Structure 1
């Protein structure tokens, strides 16, 4: 994984309905980012074409639509992930524990710029 600004497109798996798009800055094993409703901070390690890490996420702004329910119920959660990368793109699979419920997700990242 090269340092820089990445777009992130995430969707929940295992029958859970949910998705999000955001940005992350990856720099020397640390990552920080967010979007219109959530912020995230974490760390990662890199292998030969693989990477893994963790990400703590919390909601900073409520949704304006009263019918939208936040996946994480407005609480801070930590996710573990692992995946692969090549060139300017990466893919990860991960799990987040929300209370006593485990939820899986898949995300794709695309490098946008040096940061």
Structure 2
């Protein structure tokens, strides 16, 4: 038995070449498709950043807006507490408030306007 070695075909002149260098029919079509794919990848990289998983990427803007709202609320509460404390101090200085002493009793006794007929 003799082993038959296949002879190279005219389309494949050198079997030692890697497959990437073999003749490909419609090679212009594949080159154009590869170019279009590269453009889509570059456009996606510009739009979505360099993350591989852009669909899973968390959005930053909702967190930023939430943080600003939370910061504004905290600042408002701090300002409200400070204003309430200052108002209480002013009320205590003026004598209006919880710790007010009763006004002094006057020594003038009011007499009834009508005489007592009993």
Does the TM-score normalized on the shorter chain lie above 0.5? Answer: no
Which TM-score band applies after superposition, normalised by the shorter structure?
A: under 0.3
The structure with more helix, counted as a fraction of residues: 2
Name the one with the larger strand percent: 1
| TM-score (structure 1 length as normaliser) | 0.14
Instruction: Give the TM-score normalised by structure 2.
Output: 0.14
Q: Which gives a bigger RCO, structure 1 or 2 (Cα 8 Å, sep 6+)?
A: 1
